[in-house]
Each structure stands twice: as structure tokens, then as C-alpha cells.
Chain A
Amino acid sequence: MNIEVTKEEREAALEGIGCSRKRVEDVRFTQGAGNYVDDIKLPGMVYGDFVRSTVPHGRIKNINKEAALALPGVIAVITAEDLIPLNLHYMPTLAGDVQAVLAHEKVLFQEQEVAFVVAETRYIAADAIELVEIEYEDLPPLIDPFKALDADAPVLREDIKDQKEGAHGARKHHNHIFNWQVGDKESTDSAFDTSEVSVKEMLTYHRVHPCPLETASSLAYMDKIKGELTLWGTFQAPHVVRTVAALLTPIPEHKIRVIAPDIGGGFGGKVGIYPGYVLSVVASIVTGLPVKWVEDRIENLATTAFARDYHMTGELAATKDGKITALRCHVLADHGAFDACADPSKFPAGMFHICTGSYDIPTAHVSVDGVYTNKAPGGVSYRCSFRVTEAAYMIERMIDVLAQKLKMDPAELRLKNFIQPEQFPYNSALGWEYDSGNYPVAMNKALQAVGYDQLRAEQAQKAEAFKNGTGRDLLGIGISFFTEVVGAGPSKNCDILGIGMFDSCEIRIHPTGDAIARLGTKSQGQGHETTYAQILSSEIGIPASGITIEEGDTDTAPYGLGTYGSRSTPVAGAACAKAAQKIKEKSKKIAAHLLEVSEHDLEWDVDRFLVKGNPDKSADMKAIAWAAYNNVPDGMEMGLEAVNYYDPPNFTFPFGAYICVADINVDTGLTKIRKFYALDDCGTRINPMIIDGQVHGGLTEAFAIAMGQLIDYDEHGNVKGASLMDYFLPTAVETPTWETDYTVTPSPHHPIGAKGVGESPNVGGVPAFSNAINDAFRAFGGIHTQMPHTAPNVWAYAKQLGLQR
């Protein structure tokens, strides 16, 4: 009996684009069968651990390793002196600076790496660390970035103190890293000089940390007989690590295999190269043994990859009726002791110049100064596309500040200044070409969904009750309408260490019609093994369940630049579609051969080619795959494989409308998030279930950043808050409930119209929270209070406004 299968049923069976397909990764993760770096055990493996600086700024007078080396089980104690002959005491950073692998002569931040102990067990390594004696001569610490460029500021980087030119142009002071400018200064200044209204505010986006639940770790094994190095590690960009390893060591690139196994969250923190990675390699070369390095949480928070630390003086000029005429912004960027920002090489402030946001602002100018301080290096993009988060915070906060000055509703001011749908592709004053968007529709949908007008009425009642002494609670309504720039990026202006920021997909179709695809990206929880298969299945008609996705092994995966900056879908997702199209082209030729018709007589139908006008005559992908290995047209190569290296023509520009409703108790400073509505437009939606999950997670991070996270230093340079006792990671109890929604405006230049979504909720979420807190105090003359909006900070702000009894 021939059971007729409908076209819809065949489509559903593919579980392609648009399907909330269950994740294939979950099978192993729910059974404890994930394979993270610290789960890997090699015969003879030993452990490395760091001796770290106790002082934030000091000269190393002496290092005594004797007692440590005398401890049974200790194999080596490596210091900068041992690395100098290898020229490895400094390593290049992604930002064009160098970073000490082990401190040489000076230490520049508390917890800096000074020596590396290698021992037979973790416990012996920990014991040995205590036995390494280091004498320091204290030097005055420089903690406040606003004092970094004072004439009498201490010299931090003696290794480069006489260099007048840095990687990004002239340095004007011994603690200056770069000045970077974009936009039209003259026309911007002139617009401000003649403006009817202007506002100016210094907004600090504080130092925070991505804090993935798995810390950074690596395991290196140098097989001296074969001359081959294998390096397992928490790498968001494994191929870049391989190339850096080849550049830093005498080992040729083909003898280096870098493997990123399962990664326990990255959020940007696992993009860079850290001293621990380098030392696990060096120690394996020295000892001939596999060497594992796993940082603990305090090391992670205190030394590995902080984010933000941007001090932004934002200014907006406008007409009296609320049309924005210009934007000006100066940023003082605290980069810590080394410039280790993870940005495309030509962009020392990342994509900060997306800071005109969703608004049609005729002219703008941005200037960023980077400075050194005695703090840990980093400057990574914590779930953010290279400083887009800072940019979105600045413009979305400033819009509210301007609305307050104009006595306008913040939603109305946004609607009045939006880039209109017909203006796309839109060229921004700071040089971006926005691909697509429909902002008014999204904004209005959001306002309606939350009952905006009723909320404003309730807010006025609460403020009135407070004023007349009958209430102590205030209501804050925070709007954020963000536009992101993701999918780095076009090789014409985006590279990492000279390598263009393309990404790749290689597909092999097996004879029985299943497939494997390998990519240059690396999931850290995003679900690539599930979603890339969906893109491929929609394109080539093989069910997603029949497609294995592999990433993270440089010996097998095609070269790619990795996963960060929401680039996997915009770049590698496009490579999937493009490689799949090549498979489809060859498949069509094979189908024509099998059906004995011309290619022009064929049409694609879900999972097969049909002869036009004769749908009973068809060849499905299973038959085509089999034929590819035994019955191809004359002159055609056997096999069914394709690879694509996708160099995107432009970035993509996801956007969204977020509204946060917060109840604040003035007496305690406690904030309760009553409602959080998040509308995201990420173009074509590949897996709605995963999109929702990404939004939930990103919003929770945004909540943590806005309401509590802070990597703080005291005036002596002691890092405070570097354990989970102090650093705020919300539990299920504090975390609000999230309401998600969407519109769909496909990207016109992406093969499937997708834009990327992972970082939107962090980028858009932070200003929504902060605007809600600030909005609550608007009726009492409050203009701006800095994050994090902890209860003590909110309480103190209310006191400053004279609201405490």
C-alpha cells in the first residue's frame, strides 16, 4: 500500500528553518556525558598553576623557587627569566599591544601571573605555589583612569614608555594607548553651537566580567617524537589560536592541532589568548608531559577578560520640538595594564560608533582615548559585538535624558527620531550601512503589549502619592530601542591579526543520504549542532536529524574565525546556505542524469527534484546521494561535497524594543522587576525555541550587569568582588520572568535573511533596566545615576535627591 505523504509532511520531517527543533546537544549534556577540557585525562598528565602577584604595582626584586622545587612531586617552576630565551615572556594581544605571559621585572596588577608551577597533582601544585617566595618593591598604583594622563602619573608600562606611536596612532602620554575618532567633528561642533536644546551627561559603564560557569582551561601535549602539539582549550576561536601558536613558537602550523571540546559558556571571555594557555604549551615542551591548566574562580574574575569600563560623556543636540540634530561623545576607556581588547584589528573601540543607534541623526562625532591603569587586562565583549553594548547604553540613556529636558515622553521622542522603514539601506553619520529595519512597528507593538499609557498613569499616581506622603513606592518604566551591528565581518575592514573575518562550512553527503558538516565557529551553548543542521536541511532536503554538525577541531574543520559578536548565524550560517547551494547544483545535474531529462526541466520540491509537469517522475536526495557514488553524468567527479568560505558583504543589524517595568521601594532601595517585555527582530528565525532561550539568558545577564555586577578596586589597587561571594550572579529567585515577542525583517544581503540574536538581549537589556531606575526618579529631578543599581546605590541616590526621611 502506498501511503501518500503530503508536501507539508515532508517539509515538517526535515525540521528545517523555523522549526523549534529539540537540541541534539542535550542528549549528552543531560546525562553528564559532555566533554569539557577539565574532563580530559591523558596518561602521565601533570598540572600547572600560577603564583600570582599580591601587589597591584611593584618591582620584582627577587624570586626564590628553591623551596617549591624541593617539594616532592614538583616538576618545574617557570618564571619570566625562563621564557626570555624563547622570546615568550611577552605575547601579542589581539589589540596590537603585548601582554606579559609572566611578569618581567614589574607587576602591573594584583593577581598578575608571576610564576608557573608544574606538579604531579593539583594539590601538590597548590602547595608549591605557597612555597615560591617573591619580594616586591611597592610602586604607587594608578587606579583612577581619569588620573592616568596626569603629568605626574606613575609610569606603568616601562617596556613601551618611550614609544610615541602605538598600534592605533600617536600616544600622547606614557599611560596613553590610543585616540580614535570617527565622524565629522566640524559639522557636529557647529550643530551643537547653533542648537536650540542640548544635553550632556557622563555615563559610566562599569567594569564587569562575563563569568561563564566554566573557567578558562587548557591541556597541552607536545609529542616530541612526531613534533606535534595538540592543545585542548576553552577557545571560542580555535583556528585563531592555532595560527597564534604557530606565530609564537617554532612549531609549524600543520603540526599544531587545536581542539575546543564542549565549552561551558563563553560570553566573549574565551576569545582571547591567556598566559595559562601559553604556559601549558611551554610546560609540555619543557617536560615532555601533557600539562593541564585550569583556573579557579578567583583567578577567572580577577585576571581573565573583564568587560566594559567605559566612561562616556554623551551629548545630544536637538530642536525644541525634539528632532535630534547631532550627537557627540568622548569615551575614556580603562584598558587595565595591557591593551588586550578583543576587537577586529582596525577598530580599537570596536563597533562603538554604532552609537547613533536607531535614530536618524544628521551628524555625529566620537572620540575614544584608551589608557593604562593597574588593573587586569581584557576589554572583551561580554555577550556583545565589540562595544555595541556600551554604545547602546550611551544612546538609549541619552535619549531619556533629552526627553526629560524637553519634557517629552521617551517613547514619543524615540518615535519622532527613528530611521524610517523607507530609509533602508540607511547610511549613518558614523559610517555604517544599516541593512533593514522597521522600527515604528516594533516600538508600537511593544508599547501596546505592556499597556504603556496605563503604566504612565500609574506612575504619575505613585509619584503623587509619594509627594503627598501617602506612598513610598515609585514606578520606573525603562524603554530601550536598540540597533546592533553584528556578524563581523567584511574582510575589507575586518580582520584579526591580518586574517579576514570570514567563516566557513564544509559538507559531505554520505552515500546513504546522511551528511556531516563542519564549521569554523564554535558553540559555547548556542546550540549550533542543532541549528546549522536546520539551515542545511531546508536548503538540501536532508532531514536535520540526518546531518551531524562538527566544530572545534582544527584538523578537521575548515578555517574560521570562531564564535563571538553574534557572528555565527550571520557569517557561518550564510556559509552553510552557500555550501548547500553548491550541493544542490551538483545534485540537480545528477537528478537530470537519473531522470534522463535536461536540468531545465527540473524543479526543486522540498527534498527532491521533480520533472516539471510530471511530478510522478522525481529523484529525491537519498537517490541522488547514492548515485553520486556510482552513477554520475559523464565527465562529473564522483562524490557529493562542498565547502564555502563566506566573506559577508556587510554586517547585519538586528534590533529590538524592550520595556522594563520596575517597582522601587525608596526606604530600602530594593527594586522589583514587575515586567520585562522583549521584542526582538533578528530577521529570519531559524529555531524559535533557541531564540527564546538566548533572549532569556541574555536578559538575565543584562539584569545582573545593570543591577549588581561590578569588578571593583579599592584605592590601593586591591581587586574587590572577585569571588562569587561578592560578584553578583543572579539565582532563580532574583531573576525576573521574561516575556518575549518578535517581528521579522529579513536581512536583504544574507542568504537566508538571518541576522543573529544571541547578544541582543544583553545589549538592549542593560539600558532598559537602567532607564527604568532612572525613570522612577524623573519626577523628583533625578537625571542620571550610575550603574549598578544595587539597593544601597538606589537608596543613596534617593537620599541625594532629598527623598529619604
Chain B
Amino acid sequence: MKKDINLTINGREVSVQAEPRTLLIHLLRDDLDITGPHIGCDTTHCGACTVDVDGRSVKACTFFAAQVDGANITTIEGIADDDGTLHAIQAAFMEKHGLQCGFCTPGMITRAYRLLKENPNPTEEEIRWGISGNLCRCTGYQNIVLAIRHAAETINAKEAAE
């Protein structure tokens, strides 16, 4: 028996139907063609499926689609500005070589996006703890940490100037 689900995703209102057991990650990827968030482990360890649900980082592989009825979701596809200008975090990941194979990147950037809203000026240690739910097999995290720090500085400088 499918259930009606209404949600806002990347600023767009959508109505879908899903079985009660359907996982959010499958709703996004298979039904809504939002394939930025990935599936890496199925067990909430790797964070490749991280999306932003009502201002919280959520691992979509262990979240039911039914749980997001009425929610406001942002995925990697919705992080850049409407005019296509990259978010400071996206630009910083490119600048600081914070990615290699790109598979963890959507989840990692989406997590960093929320982290910098929770803590706009994090120390290196706070960044490392803040992304510890997101695994990367390629970079050794060093440049990811640099990228997030760089993004924080960019965002803070921009806000100070405004």
C-alpha cells in the first residue's frame, strides 16, 4: 500500500507515492532522479547518502521516505546558487583538491554545508569531528579539512563585507 508524500526538494515542491518501507535514498535516486547522493554502505556508516532535511544532516540510506512527508530537503544538486554560481564549499573543494573519485563528495559537501551553519568558524579539530560521519577512501581528509576551513573563511569574509 503506497503512501502519499509531499515534500520540498531543492526548492521544488513534489508529490510522490512510496511504499512504507521505501528508503529515502531510493526515493531520491530511483524515483526522483536525484542521483548526487550515493549509496556506499547501507548501514549509516559512510555518509555518501547525506542530505539536508529540515536543517539537519541525514543519512538517507537509513531514513524512510515516509519520514520526509512535509519536509524541506536540500541535496548536493541544490547547494549552488540559482544562477549556477557554486557555493563557497563547492569552490573550496575544487581549490584545495578536497576530492578524488567524487563518490563521497556530494555527501561530504552537504555535511560541510550544514556544519558551517552549525559552527561558522570551526577549528581543525571541530571540522574533523564534524565530518566524522562521512567516510572518504581517497583523500585522507587532509585537503577536505583545508577546503572546509577555506570555505568558512570565504563565507565569513563575505558576510563581514556585507
State the A residues within 8 Å of B (CB): 22-23, 25-34, 36, 38-39, 41, 122-123, 211-215, 262-265, 267, 294, 296-298, 524-527, 689-690, 692-694, 696-701, 723-725, 729, 731-733, 735, 737-738
Asked if A265 and B97 sit within 8 Å, CB to CB, the answer is no
Q: What's the minimum C-beta distance from A774 to chain B, rounded to whole angstroms?
A: 23
Tell me the residues in window 136-153 of chain B with beta carbons closer than 8 Å to chain A beta carbons.
136-145
Asked if B104 and A213 sit within 8 Å, CB to CB, the answer is yes
Query: What 1/0 flags go to B37-81 for Cβ under 8 Å of A?
Result: 111111101101000000000000000000000000001110110
Partner of B144, one of A123, A525, A732: A732
Query: What 1/0 flags go to B95-120 for Cβ under 8 Å of A?
Result: 10101111111100100000000000
With known contacts A31-B77, A123-B19, A38–B137 Cβ distance under 8 A: no
Asked if B101 and A524 sit within 8 Å, CB to CB, the answer is yes
Q: What's the minimum C-beta distance from B41 to chain A, rounded to whole angstroms?
A: 4
Q: What's the minimum C-beta distance from A454 to chain B, rounded to whole angstroms?
A: 25
A700 to B97, CA, bound (A): 16
A694 to B143, CA, bound (A): 11
Q: Chain B residues with Cβ under 8 A from A694's Cβ?
A: 100
Asked if A213 and B143 sit within 8 Å, CB to CB, the answer is no
A297 to B43, CA, bound (A): 9
Q: What's the minimum C-beta distance from B57 to chain A, rounded to whole angstroms?
A: 15
Q: How many residues of B are counted as interface, with CB atoms below 8 angstroms from the partner's CB atoms? A: 58
Q: Chain A residues with Cβ under 8 A from B142's Cβ?
A: 696, 735, 737-738
Partner of B33, one of A41, A298, A735: A41
Which of A25, A29, A122, A692 is packed against the most chain B CB atoms within 10 Å?
A29
| Top 10 A-B pairs, shortest CB-CB distance | A32-B36, A264-B103, A525-B101, A29-B102, A32-B76, A696-B140, A700-B140, A525-B100, A724-B45, A39-B35
Asked if A729 and B137 sit within 8 Å, CB to CB, the answer is yes
Q: Chain B residues with Cβ under 8 A from A29's Cβ?
A: 99, 102, 105-106
A31 to B139, CA, bound (A): 18
Given contacts A211-B137, A212-B137, A697-B138, 9 further A-B contacts (CB under 8 A): A28-B102, A213-B103, A265-B137, A525-B138, A693-B143, A696-B139, A697-B137, A724-B43, A731-B128
Q: What's the minimum C-beta distance from A604 to chain B, rounded to whole angstroms?
A: 31
The residue in chain B whose Cβ has the minimal distance to the Cβ of A703 is B140
The residue in chain B whose Cβ has the minimal distance to the Cβ of A34 is B102
Asked if B43 and A264 sit within 8 Å, CB to CB, the answer is no
Q: What's the minimum C-beta distance from A225 to chain B, rounded to whole angstroms?
A: 27
Which of B97, B104, B106, B133 is packed against the most chain A CB atoms within 10 Å?
B97
What are 19 A-B residue pairs whose CB atoms fall within 8 Å in the complex? A22-B94, A23-B94, A31-B79, A32-B77, A38-B39, A123-B22, A213-B40, A213-B101, A265-B137, A265-B138, A689-B97, A692-B97, A697-B100, A724-B41, A724-B45, A731-B132, A731-B141, A732-B127, A732-B141
With known contacts A32-B37, A737-B142, A731–B43 Cβ distance under 8 A: no
Q: What's the minimum C-beta distance from A304 to chain B, rounded to whole angstroms?
A: 14
Q: Chain A residues with Cβ under 8 A from B3's Cβ?
A: none
State the B residues within 8 Å of A (CB): 19, 21-22, 26, 29-30, 33-43, 45-46, 48, 75-77, 79-80, 86, 90, 93-95, 97, 99-106, 109, 127-129, 131-145
The residue in chain B whose Cβ has the minimal distance to the Cβ of A266 is B101
Q: What's the minimum C-beta distance from A670 to chain B, rounded to whole angstroms?
A: 17
Q: What's the minimum C-beta distance from A191 to chain B, rounded to whole angstroms?
A: 41
Asked if A697 and B139 sit within 8 Å, CB to CB, the answer is yes
Asked if A693 and B101 sit within 8 Å, CB to CB, the answer is no
Q: Chain A residues with Cβ under 8 A from B46's Cβ?
A: 213, 724, 729
Q: What's the minimum C-beta distance from A164 to chain B, rounded to whole angstroms?
A: 42
Asked if B131 and A732 sit within 8 Å, CB to CB, the answer is yes
Asked if B80 and A735 sit within 8 Å, CB to CB, the answer is no
Q: Chain A residues with Cβ under 8 A from B106's Cβ?
A: 29, 32, 34
Q: Chain A residues with Cβ under 8 A from B109's Cβ?
A: 30
With known contacts A723-B43, A732-B127, A38–B29 Cβ distance under 8 A: yes
A39 to B106, CA, bound (A): 13
Q: What's the minimum C-beta distance from A658 to chain B, rounded to whole angstroms?
A: 14
Asked if B77 and A526 sit within 8 Å, CB to CB, the answer is no
Asked if A31 and B141 sit within 8 Å, CB to CB, the answer is no
Q: Chain B residues with Cβ under 8 A from A212's Cβ?
A: 101, 103, 137
The residue in chain B whose Cβ has the minimal distance to the Cβ of A524 is B101
Q: What's the minimum C-beta distance from A458 to chain B, rounded to whole angstroms?
A: 25
Q: Chain B residues with Cβ under 8 A from A693's Cβ?
A: 97, 100, 138-139, 143
Asked if A31 and B90 sit within 8 Å, CB to CB, the answer is yes
Q: Chain B residues with Cβ under 8 A from A265's Cβ?
A: 100-101, 103, 137-138
Q: Chain A residues with Cβ under 8 A from B105's Cβ?
A: 29-30, 34
A654 to B53, CA, bound (A): 47
Q: Chain B residues with Cβ under 8 A from A213's Cβ?
A: 38, 40, 46, 48, 101, 103-104, 135-137
A211 to B103, CA, bound (A): 13
Asked if A297 and B137 sit within 8 Å, CB to CB, the answer is no
Q: What's the minimum C-beta distance from B149 to chain A, rounded to whole angstroms?
A: 12
Asked if B94 and A723 sit within 8 Å, CB to CB, the answer is no
A692 to B93, CA, bound (A): 15
With known contacts A212-B137, A297-B40, A700-B141, A34–B103 Cβ distance under 8 A: yes
The residue in chain B whose Cβ has the minimal distance to the Cβ of A265 is B101
Q: What's the minimum C-beta distance from A601 to chain B, rounded to whole angstroms?
A: 44
Q: What's the minimum C-beta distance from A768 to chain B, rounded to whole angstroms?
A: 15
Q: Chain B residues with Cβ under 8 A from A31's Cβ?
A: 36, 76-77, 79-80, 86, 90
Partner of A699, one of B45, B99, B140, B144: B140
Which of A263, A294, A699, A733 is packed against the most chain B CB atoms within 10 Å?
A733
Q: Chain B residues with Cβ under 8 A from A294's Cβ?
A: 39
Q: Chain A residues with Cβ under 8 A from B127's Cβ?
A: 732
Asked if B140 and A697 sit within 8 Å, CB to CB, the answer is yes
The residue in chain B whose Cβ has the minimal distance to the Cβ of A699 is B140
The residue in chain B whose Cβ has the minimal distance to the Cβ of A729 is B135
The residue in chain B whose Cβ has the minimal distance to the Cβ of A737 is B142
A297 to B45, CA, bound (A): 11
Q: What's the minimum C-beta distance from A263 to chain B, rounded to whole angstroms?
A: 7
With known contacts A297-B41, A723-B43, A731–B135 Cβ distance under 8 A: yes
A732 to B136, CA, bound (A): 8
The residue in chain B whose Cβ has the minimal distance to the Cβ of A39 is B35
Q: Chain B residues with Cβ under 8 A from A733's Cβ?
A: 128-129, 132
A524 to B95, CA, bound (A): 20
Q: What's the minimum C-beta distance from A238 to chain B, rounded to whole angstroms?
A: 16
Partner of B42, one of A296, A731, A735: A296
Partner of A36, one of B38, B99, B143: B38
A725 to B62, CA, bound (A): 14
Asked if A23 and B41 sit within 8 Å, CB to CB, the answer is no
A732 to B46, CA, bound (A): 12
Q: Chain A residues with Cβ under 8 A from B102's Cβ?
A: 25-26, 28-30, 34, 262, 264, 525
Q: Chain A residues with Cβ under 8 A from B95's Cβ?
A: 22
With known contacts A22-B94, A31-B90, A697-B140, A122–B76 Cβ distance under 8 A: no
A737 to B144, CA, bound (A): 12
With known contacts A30-B86, A32-B35, A213-B104, A735–B140 Cβ distance under 8 A: yes
Q: What's the minimum C-beta distance from A411 to chain B, rounded to whole angstroms?
A: 26
A23 to B147, CA, bound (A): 14
Q: Chain B residues with Cβ under 8 A from A701's Cβ?
A: 137
Q: What's the minimum C-beta distance from B157 to chain A, rounded to whole angstroms?
A: 20
With known contacts A27-B94, A729-B46, A731-B135, A214–B80 Cβ distance under 8 A: no
Partner of B101, one of A264, A699, A725, A729: A264
Q: Chain A residues with Cβ under 8 A from B131's Cβ?
A: 731-732
The residue in chain B whose Cβ has the minimal distance to the Cβ of A702 is B140
Q: What's the minimum C-beta distance from B93 to chain A, rounded to whole angstroms?
A: 5
